[in-house]
Structure 1
Amino acid sequence: MTTSAAPLDLLLLPTWLVPVEPAGVVLKEHGLGIRDGCIAFIGPRAAALKLAAKEVRELPGMLLSPGLVNAHGHAAMSLFRGLADDLPLMTWLEKHIWPAEAKWVDEAFVRDGTNLAIAEQLKGGITCFCDMYFYPKVASDCVHNSGMRAQIAMPILDFPIPGASSADEALRQAIELFGDLKHHPRIKIAFGPHAPYTVSDANLEKIRVVAEELDATIHMHVHETAFEVQQAVEQTGERPLARLGRLGLLGPRFQAVHMTQISEDDLALLIESNTSVIHCPESNLKLASGFCPVERLWQAGVNVAIGTDGAASNNDLDLLGETRTAAMLAKAVAGSATALDAHRALRMATLNGARAMGLESQIGSLEVGKAADMVAFDLSGLAQQPIYDPVSQLIYATGRDCVKHLWVAGKPLLDDRQLTRMDEQQLTATAIAWGQRISGHSE
């Protein structure tokens, strides 16, 4: 159906249209119309061609889906990509990443690293991402200028961080930024207590109160490793998730990132509180952090989204590749080849991420009235043939190099694989210059 008789701004005619909602549906030879940045029409090609449209684009051999949603990452850490590989999590953090951050991270670092990450994500089919890093005001400026959509989480720790001398200052900055961007159409500010082992009960209480008042989301690393959970139990007699539940943080606005360790009590808490879990399989694999039991969570009704984590621990921001890894890993962990099938994997990378961020009424599926955040994947290549189920082919046989076009709120940010608002050569040169500076001073 179409919402009014006014001409469409753009009519897209792909070979396959995968709305994600309703689940498991593939529409062949359908059209999608956009007006004022929103989806105004979805229907058969014949009906679509009868509509007035300012522009019509044929997308032969392409699958049109909702834009991918990267539900966890540290965008500016792209400039630390490959800096300290093949190390355990705490060694990686304490001996390499935290010292490098103390030395190098300033507003210029965050600006250049975030722009690099935005460009990489757009070229990989990601229309919305969650960022949790220092100088969030700088990151939000980058998102604003790029045309992308994002949730920006202000990191809060018990000790000073780049850009904030205390937890109270970080919280104050987050509240201020939340107020400044409250009506921004594409940016949502969240609170990002780093992890249970870096934030005290007192500071978590403050965050909970403010988040409740503002109806804001909370984004936090939780149960990333067995060591984290074991240490907490030894020191306090309480598992970190149980502690967060006791403090009243869990709920539909809470995003628990990693969750590789889940007991029966943890699962009951997640279900009861309607907390979302953000799964980061490749980072967890690379740092040997453990396996999130995705199928178990899904069957229990927990909302599971997917994130790449930062490029310093992944080492790419390739959500399509991440989703393939998630689907494969889910099968191995569950001991079942039917676990996390291709259609559910795509849902995890789109609508579930939107739901975790509280954006499911705006993005995550192709439905009339929602924002036109979409990506066209080219499935016409040799390596994608023959095509029996285009969604299976997308998840299991397609790489991010097949991303052809991308729109956010109806605006083209990637056209025929070319960024429309960002200078790829300049971004590459800037990243190389940072790498030379950092490596030259770290020997």
Structure 2
Amino acid sequence: MTAPVLAIRAKSVLTLAGESPARGAQLFAALKKIDNAVILVRGGLVEDVRPWAQARLPVGARVRDVGPVCLAPGCVNAHLHLELSHLAGRTLWGKGFTPWLASLIPLLGASSENEVAEALASACADLAGTGTAHAGNVTGSLARGLALADKACREMGLDVSHFCEWFGFGPPFVDDARPWPPRCRAALAAQPFLAARCAPAGHALYSTAPDVLRAARKACAARGKVFSFHLAESPEETQLLTTGDGPLRDCYENVVLPQGWRPPGMRPLAYAASLGLLGPGALAVHGVQLDAQEVEALAAGGTALCLCPRSNRNLGVGTPPVRALMENGGLLCLGTDGLTSNSDLDVRREAVYLRETLDVPPEALVRLLTVNGAAALGLAAGGRLTPGAPATFCVLPQALTY
């Protein structure tokens, strides 16, 4: 029996049909909008999008009029720490990166599995309810974090890519073929089906051993997976990598950093380049501390960058050079980071924040939320409302419509 058609009518729809990942001037090009539009959905997939006046509804079709709103493809939240959602409201904001980190570390592992699972269920419900279609979830902090996060996403119908994050300098990975952090390795052994949605990842240049970062990058390239890591997030990171001192050194000394650790004496981008971590297939996150030459080099090398501006504001680490990043032609997308450094997981609010504080045009922000986010996560067909695509969409906030 053929599934019935659901006709979703709205004031306007941005399908992003025919759109490629946008860089540079392409970000600011006009988007094709269908006014007084209808999305025809059958079996959970888009069958067509057209003006209401041209709709030919089959017998038995159900019509849902969502009113005077603009619909767009479901958002891609390219970077968030889902499994730490139970720590919302319990960390220190506004005092800098290291005080926030010092407030977070004692909380890791201090909660029950039920508490973690309940917070994950709530977080994933919020993601789905605000129109997120795909999440780039960083995992590996908690013993059962990967399995619990994946289960919560599946139950809410969220697509997810898991970045299995190495943190620390030892013990080393098992071998080059399996550079999975221990907690994620255990989850994959128990539930092998998770592997299709997982990739090894690094935490950061100052908190993950260089050989592990290189091995994880190599493994991702061999498997056609995206490699992700935090880059140039805070002034403390730059200080630690260049001079080897500062508050981050004091926080990590003989706890994360091994005895006798010496700084590479390079700024974050140069150090990442020296380890072979950059280029197509790599997704760096934050980029707040990039200078003008580094912005140009990052874009020229083909590394994607995920911006999490509200998290950066809340922690007091600065504002990423958004305009320069856009104008230099890098592949940019958006993420919320997580509830330890953000008030919610609605990635549309990252876009609204950039619109209101930096006057970034809405056309660029819609692309960052959709096709660019999909491309940054290696999702070739994501971020568009076209026939055959999943019928996942979001309501664009007023600030992002035109």
- TM-score with structure 2 length normalisation? 0.81
User: Are 1:174 and 1:189, in contact at CA under 8 Å, matched by a contact in 2?
Assistant: no
The Cα of 1:316 is off from its aligned counterpart by 1.8
Distance in 2 of aligned mates of 1:343 and 1:198: 37
Report whether the alignment pairs 1:272 with 2:300: yes
Question: What is aligned with 1:243?
Answer: 271
Q: Which residue of 2 aligns with 1:285?
A: 313
CA distance in 1, matches of 2:266, 2:186: 31
Corresponding position of 1:141: 151
1:267 maps to amino acid:
V
1:344 aligned residue (335, 349, 364): 364
User: C-alpha displacement at 1:34, in angstroms?
Assistant: 2.1
Shift of residue 116 of structure 1?
1.7
Instruction: Please say if 1:207 is aligned against 2:216.
Output: yes
Aligned ranges for residues 352-367 of structure 1 at < 5 Å? 352-361=372-381, 363-367=382-386
Which residue of 1 is the match for residue 114 of structure 2?
108
CA displacement at 1:347 relative to structure 2: 1.7
Aligned equivalent of 1:440: none
- Determine if contact 1:65/1:375 at 8 Å carries over to the other structure: yes
Partner of 1:41, secondary structure, is: strand
Question: What is the CA-CA distance between 1:305 and the residue it aligns to?
Answer: 0.9
Cα gap change, 1:215 to 1:173, in 2 (>3 Å): farther
User: Is 2:251 aligned against 1:231?
Assistant: no
Question: Residue type matched to 1:144 in 2?
Answer: R
Matched, 1:371 2:390: yes
Note if contact 2:92-2:99 (Cα within 8 Å) is conserved in structure 1: no
| Unpaired stretches in structure 1, ≥5 consecutive residues | 1-5, 332-339, 378-390, 398-443
**Contact 2:77–2:373 (8 Å) recurs in 1:** yes
Give deviations 1:275-328, integer Å, cap 9, x for gaps.
111111111011111111112111211111111111121122232222111223
Cα offsets for 1:341-394 (capped at 9, x unmatched): 012112212222111111141x212222322221246xxxxxxxxxxxxx7x24
Greater relative contact order structure (CA < 8 Å, 6+ sep):
2
State the distance in 2 between where 1:130 and 1:17 align. Answer: 25
| Residue 400 of structure 2 corresponds to residue 395 of structure 1 | yes
How far apart in 2 are the matches of 1:214 and 1:17? 36
Structure 2 residue corresponding to 1:35, chosen from 39, 42, 48? 42
Counterpart amino acid of residue 147 in structure 1: G
From 324, 332, 342, the counterpart of 1:304: 332
String of CA shifts for 1:129-173, please: whole Å, max 9, x gaps: 222133212211111122112222212112589xxxx97525645
- Out of 195, 200, 205, the position equivalent to 2:204 is 195
Deviation at 1:396, TM superposition (A): 7.8
SS of the residue corresponding to residue 213 of structure 1 reads helix
1:127 matched to 2:127? The reply is no
1:406 equivalent in structure 2? none
Native 8 Å contact 1:171 1:207 kept in 2: no
The aligned amino acid for 2:9 is: L
2:97 to 65, 89, 101: 89
Q: Aligned partners of 1:256 and 1:351: how far apart in 2? A: 17
Residue 52 of structure 1, CA deviation: 5.2
**CA-CA distance at 1:66 after TM superposition:** 1.0
C-alpha spacing 1:215/1:47, structure 2 compared with 1 (3 Å): same
SS in 2 for 1:248: coil
Q: Which runs of 5+ in 2 are unaligned?
A: 20-29, 172-178, 244-262
Residues 1:169 and 2:176 are matched in the alignment? no
Amino acid in the other structure paired with 1:16:
S
- Aligned AA for 1:117? A
Give distance in 1, aligned partners of 2:60 and 2:14. 22
SS in 1 for 2:108: helix
Question: How many residue pairs get matched?
Answer: 360
2:167–2:203 Cα contact (<8 Å) kept: yes
The alpha carbon displacement at 1:93 in A equals 1.0
**CA deviation after TM superposition for structure 1 residue 175, in Å:** 6.4
- Of residues 34, 44, 52, the one that matches 1:45 is 52
- What are the superposed Cα offsets for residues 75-100 of structure 1, whole Å, 9 maximum, x if unpaired? 23222122133332111212x21111
| Structure 1, 259-268 or 194-203: larger mean CA deviation | 259-268
Per-residue CA shift, 1:383-409, capped at 9, x if unaligned?
xxxxxxxx7x24389xxxxxxxxxxxx
Q: Evaluate the alpha carbon distance shift between residue 274 and residue 173 of structure 1 in structure 2; reply closer, same or farther with a 3 A threshold.
A: farther
The 3-state SS of whatever aligns with 1:181 is: helix
RMSD: 2.8
Cα deviation, residue 102, structure 1: 3.7
State percent identity of aligned pairs. Answer: 26
Pairing 1:330–2:336 present: no
Instruction: List 4+ stretches of structure 1 deviating above 4 A.
Output: 50-53, 173-179
The amino acid of 1:92's aligned partner reads: W
Cα distance in 2 between the residues matched to 1:137 and 1:63: 35
Q: Secondary structure at the match of 1:103?
A: coil
Tell me by how many angstroms 1:62 deviates: 2.6
Displacement of 1:203: 0.8
Measured at CA, do residues 322 and 237 of structure 1 come closer, stay the same or move farther in structure 2, by a change above 3 Å? Answer: same
Alpha-carbon distance in structure 2 between the residues aligned to 1:290 and 1:167:
32
Please, what TM-score do these two structures have when normalized by structure 1? Answer: 0.74
Whole-Å separation in 1 of the counterparts to 2:384 and 2:104: 36
CA distance in structure 1 between the partners assigned to 2:216 and 2:291 by the alignment:
26
Give distance in 2, aligned partners of 1:263 and 1:318: 28
**Distance change (3 Å), C-alpha of 1:83 and 1:396:** farther
The SS at the match of 2:119 is helix
